[in-house]
Amino acid sequence: MSAYDIVLKSREKGRPTAVRYISEIVENFIELHGDRRFADDRAIIAGIGTISGRPVTVIGIEKGEDTNGRIEHNFGCAHPEGYRKAVRLMKQAEKFHRPVLCFVDTSGAYCGIGAEERGQSEAIASSILEMIRLKTPTLSVIIGEGGSGGALGLCAADEVWIDENATYSVISPEGCASILWKDSAKVAEASECLKLTADNLQKLGAVERVLPENGFGEEFFAKLKEDIAAFFAEKSQIPAETLIEKRYERFRKF
Amino acid sequence: MIQGARKRAREYNVDKNIVRGKKSARGVKRGRAAEKERKKKSNHPMPRAARSAGRAPHVRVSLPERGKGFLSGIFEGEIKLKFEDFKKFFFRKPKNALEGTEDSTEGIAQPQEAAIPEKLAVKCEKCGQIVLSDEMEENFGVCPKCGHYKKMAPRARIAMCAENFEELFADKVGKNVLGFPGYDEKIAALREKTGENEGVVCGTAEIGGVKCAVFSMDYRFMMGSMGHAVGEKITATFEYATEHGLPVVGFALSGGARMQEGIVSLMQMAKTSAAVAKHSEAGLLYISVLTDPTTGGVSASFAFEADIIVAEKGALIGFAGPRVIEQTIRQKLPEGFQRAEFQQQKGFADLIVQRKEMKEKLAQLLRLHCGEAI
């Protein structure tokens, strides 16, 4: 499969979105709303629940499952208030020593007048800064598109896992083709050049695990749940300072 | 210098317009129409070179039409100069250390002798008025006629604000990790052109008598885009500052992450942020000066993570560039959108500082934090 085929697959209609992952993996999920500053961004769904009995904070970028859902969730393009909600709940998780689990699926943070007025850059910068020094285990799973800064805002984690047909990139292949070659038709070529597929990302060290999708059956979610539970069980044993130091090294190597 | 070039031009019987840069050295017009014209003419029974041989042999004979290979045959032996050599011979700009390592061009003088001196006057890119270079320089690149801020090269900016600058990490360079087509060539050309290794200059300096670590980004280097080298140098600067207990003053200027390095450049956002976090936790001051433009991955990471965010007057500061926003929302953006003044009004810049006051303002801020009386 070519890189561009994977790009198309990562955006495919009917692909499970964050809501599905949360309902399959997290028990007793209670959604918590709002950034306590401006609004509740529906592109980011966040709350608390348990995974195999362990309380966790869950933050997911939600694209929406059908047309109405996509409109409600702004196609998974978060505004600054979305990232500020994420930061608020991460700090809360830190206070109560809960690990943080993020599901990432966005073509990028929203760009528009309101987003700029409310400081999209500052919101993403703060999200990265707070997440990278959070004193509690963090895990991000890229379940569709991992689009640039908008994705990184929730990917400054101890480990990043990725679905086999998901992507993670500094820019969309369309954007790359139109900026570099002034030709958005060269999108397939750009997809190839950007090395945004799971196997390439693993080679580059940007992700730790590639998750075989197997048609997103029951087994897929059961296995993922088990892996996440084991990951948090292991990381919760590690003192916060060591955790942060390891996280620092993880990003320092690039 | 220019006289030398003109004199040589007379000797070689070259059109004086060539020396002035109004015409190409081939003496031919450019463009598609001109190309057609040339093709017509080339039906002449005599070879082009022979036709013009009587007039200006040095120029006409020796300049091959690029990509046509009409030199095959009798002229091959004696013709060694290429069009590029001639272009360099006549249109040489002032040199810097990186240049001048090229093969000597046989039979003609070395390029530096034909160099044309710095321009005496420059045209303001905003109002179009002609301003004396000296005057522009004294005014730190701000147009005295309309107040437009010209972009500043990183070393000039450091020189404007700081004393005793000592460069650090100058040898850190990136590599083409993704094997991105055309990227190596682009970097090589930029190195040659700017004399800099990468898109940021880092080091230590004194501002208002306070020692600090500084970094200053380079608009000439792919508009200050951040790849491995830029991220690494900035991270190393923060680590150095943390280790030595120094404040950091950073001049941000960037269009964002460098897409040719793909995910590696995205990771620089996290890497630099982590270094900022460590520096901050050590109780040290970080002043970020946002200059025109600061957008994308740089604004969404270290540029907006400072204790004090200074915006240079008029600078464009934002997440997405205005063109991208206009394309997304399909409407025109209001005047002044994303400018420094807008950022201050919306609460994202602590203060706006004019270029000529930058040094004093930074000195004041540093002295306030670093224990000395003002």
Specify the higher pLDDT residue, B71 or B370: B370
Quick one: pLDDT band at residue A47, thresholds 50, 70, 90?
Answer: very high
The letter for the amino acid at B139 is: N
Reduced 3-state DSSP string for B121-166? EEECCCCCCEEEHHHHHHCCCECCCCCCECCCCHHHHHHHHCEEEE
Quick one: pLDDT band at residue B7, thresholds 50, 70, 90?
Answer: low
Single out the residue of B10, B12, B37, B20 nearest to residue B28, CA to CA. Answer: B37
Instruction: Give the residue from chain B lying closest to A248, CA to CA.
Output: B274
Instruction: Give the residue from chain B lying closest to A124, CA to CA.
Output: B300
**B301 and A128 in contact by Cβ < 8 A?**
yes
**B271 and A252 in contact by Cβ < 8 A?**
yes
Q: How far is CA A112 from the centre of its chain?
A: 21
Quick one: pLDDT band at residue B23, thresholds 50, 70, 90?
Answer: very low
Cβ partners under 8 Å of residue B301, min gap 6: A124, A125, A128, A149, B268, B269, B270, B272, B273
Residues B109 and B132 in one domain: no
The tokens for B271 are 């890497």
- What's the pLDDT tens digit per position in B310-343? 999 999 999 998 988 988 888 899 999 999 999 9
Share above pLDDT 70 across residues of chain A, in percent, rounded to a whole number:
100
Residues B84 and B166 in one domain: no
- What's the pLDDT tens digit per position in B50-69? 444 444 434 444 444 444 44
- What's the pLDDT tens digit per position in A240-249? 999 999 999 9
Q: Average pLDDT, stretch B75-80?
A: 46
Confidence check: pLDDT of B184 > 80: yes
**A113 and B264 in contact by Cβ < 8 A?**
no
What is the residue range of A76's domain? Answer: 3-245
**B347 and A119 in contact by Cβ < 8 A?**
yes
Q: Is A58 on the interface with B (CB under 8 A)?
A: no
Residues B219 and B329 in one domain: yes
Q: Which of A74, A87, A129 is most worth mutating to test chain B (most B CB atoms within 10 A of its CB)?
A: A129
Quick one: pLDDT band at residue A179, thresholds 50, 70, 90?
Answer: confident
Q: In this structure, is residue A252 part of a structural domain?
A: no
Single out the residue of A209, A170, A207 nearest to residue A190, CA to CA. Answer: A170
Q: In this structure, is residue A253 part of a structural domain?
A: no
* Chain B: closest CA distance from residue A149 (Å): 6
Return d(Cα A165, Cα B160) in angstroms, integer.
Answer: 51
* Chain A: closest CA distance from residue B323 (Å): 11
**B301 and A116 in contact by Cβ < 8 A?**
no
Nearest CB among A109, A194, A195 relative to B319 is that of: A109
Share above pLDDT 90 across residues of chain A, in percent, rounded to a whole number:
93
Q: In this structure, is residue A250 part of a structural domain?
A: no
* Chain A: closest CA distance from residue B256 (Å): 10
- What's the pLDDT tens digit per position in A183-225? 878 899 999 999 999 999 999 999 999 999 989 999 999 999 9
C-alpha to C-alpha distances, B240 to B90, B204, B244, B270, B287, nearest whole angstrom: 45, 9, 6, 18, 16
Residues B289 and B140 in one domain: no
The tokens for B63 are 């300049």
Residues B189 and B211 in one domain: yes
The answer to whether the beta carbons of residues B312 and B275 sit under 8 Å apart is no
The domain that contains A86 carries what CATH number?
3.90.226.10
Residues B177 and B316 in one domain: yes
Confidence check: pLDDT of B25 > 80: no
Residues B16 and B137 in one domain: no
Return d(Cα B254, Cα A229) in angstroms, integer.
Answer: 41
Q: Average pLDDT, stretch A28-44?
A: 96
Cβ partners under 8 Å of residue B297, min gap 6: A148, A149, A170, B226, B254, B256, B257, B265, B266, B268, B269
Quick one: pLDDT band at residue B89, thresholds 50, 70, 90?
Answer: low
Q: Which of A124-128, B93-97, B229-233, B255-259 has the lowest mean pLDDT?
A: B93-97
Average predicted confidence (pLDDT) for chain B: 79
Nearest CB among A120, A169, A179 relative to B319 is that of: A120
Q: Is A203 on the interface with B (CB under 8 A)?
A: no
Q: Average pLDDT, stretch A62-66?
A: 94
Q: Average pLDDT, stretch A138-158?
A: 96
Q: In this structure, is residue A104 part of a structural domain?
A: yes
Complex-level ipTM: 0.95
Greatest mean pLDDT among A50-54, B109-113, B119-123, B331-335? A50-54
pLDDT at B154: 95
3-state SS assignment for residue B315: coil
- What's the pLDDT tens digit per position in A219-242? 999 999 999 999 999 999 999 999
What is the residue range of B322's domain? Answer: 152-369
Q: Average pLDDT, stretch B37-60?
A: 46
pTM greater than 0.95 (yes/no): no
Question: How many domains, in total, are found in chain B?
Answer: 3
Q: Is A229 on the interface with B (CB under 8 A)?
A: no
Residues B133 and B110 in one domain: no
Residues B223 and B270 in one domain: yes
Return d(Cα B220, Cα A160) in angstroms, integer.
Answer: 35
Q: Is A251 on the interface with B (CB under 8 A)?
A: yes
Residues B177 and B325 in one domain: yes
pLDDT at B63: 43
The domain that contains B240 carries what CATH number?
3.90.226.10
Confidence check: pLDDT of A76 > 60: yes
Cβ partners under 8 Å of residue B67, min gap 6: none
Quick one: pLDDT band at residue A251, thresholds 50, 70, 90?
Answer: very high
Task: Read off the DSSP letter of residue A144.
Answer: E
Q: Average pLDDT, stretch B262-288?
A: 96
pLDDT at A233: 97
Please name the residue that has the structure tokens 């309101």: A114
Q: Average pLDDT, stretch B132-150?
A: 89
Sequence length of chain A is: 254
Q: Domain boundary at B127, B150, B173, which?
A: B150
Return d(Cα A221, Cα A200) in angstroms, integer.
Answer: 24
Instruction: Give the residue from chain B lying closest to A252, CA to CA.
Output: B271
Residues B132 and B107 in one domain: no
Q: In this structure, is residue B214 part of a structural domain?
A: yes
**A170 and B265 in contact by Cβ < 8 A?**
yes
Q: Average pLDDT, stretch B68-89?
A: 52
* Chain A: closest CA distance from residue B84 (Å): 25
The tokens for A80 are 């600054």
Q: What number of CA atoms fall less than 13 Å from residue B361's CA on the CB side?
A: 18
Bridge partner list, B5: none
**B304 and A148 in contact by Cβ < 8 A?**
no
**B319 and A193 in contact by Cβ < 8 A?**
no
The answer to whether the beta carbons of residues B268 and B230 sit under 8 Å apart is yes
Q: In this structure, is residue B374 part of a structural domain?
A: no
pLDDT at B217: 97
pLDDT at B76: 44
Residues B302 and B200 in one domain: yes
pLDDT at B10: 53
Question: How many domains, in total, are found in chain A?
Answer: 1
Confidence check: pLDDT of B373 > 50: no
Specify the higher pLDDT residue, B8 or B178: B178
